[in-house]
Each structure stands twice: as C-alpha cells, then as structure tokens.
C-alpha cells in the first residue's frame, strides 16, 4: 500500500533531464499529472521541462539516486 506525500512536496521542473534509479522500496513519482511507479531496480526518466514530484511512498519508504543530465560543454562530465 502506498501513502500519499503531503502537498508540501513541491511540483517543480528543470531545463535538463533527470534519471531516477530506485535502489530500495516503492513509491510513485508524479510526472505532468500522471503517476509513475517507483520500485527497486527501476529507472525513470523525467524529461526537461516536465513538472514532477514524489507523490507517494510505500510503508518501508523509497530510496533513489538522481542523475541530472546537465552536461558541461566540451567535456564528458554529467
């Protein structure tokens, strides 16, 4: 069972893509008004400009790593 996250979790967006790599637990990510499941082992991409927030978490919580696709010009750094 997932539990809603309070509305204080701000919906936001970025001028770059983000990749959520889920390492533990379960939850839901709201992306442009739709809920995308977050489960251990999954990778979710949020494209540049998409409004998003964590919308729900499971009873054991959810943990993830976020990779932000903000490349530095003329380099391989992300």
Taken in order of first residue, the domains within the chain and their CATH numbers are: 3-69 (2.60.120.10)
| Per-residue model confidence as pLDDT tens digits over 58-71 | 999 999 999 988 76
What is the rounded CA–CA span in Å between residue 78 and residue 3?
A: 33
24-49 tens-digit pLDDT:
999 999 999 999 999 999 999 999 99
């Amino acid at each position: 069972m997932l539990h809603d996250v309070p509305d204080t979790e701000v919906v936001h967006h970025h001028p770059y893509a983000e990749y959520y790599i889920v390492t533990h637990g379960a939850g839901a990510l709201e992306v442009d008004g739709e809920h995308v499941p977050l489960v251990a082992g999954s990778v979710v991409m949020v494209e540049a400009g998409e409004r998003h927030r964590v919308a729900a978490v499971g009873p054991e919580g959810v943990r993830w790593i976020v990779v932000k696709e903000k490349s530095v010009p003329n380099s391989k750094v992300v």
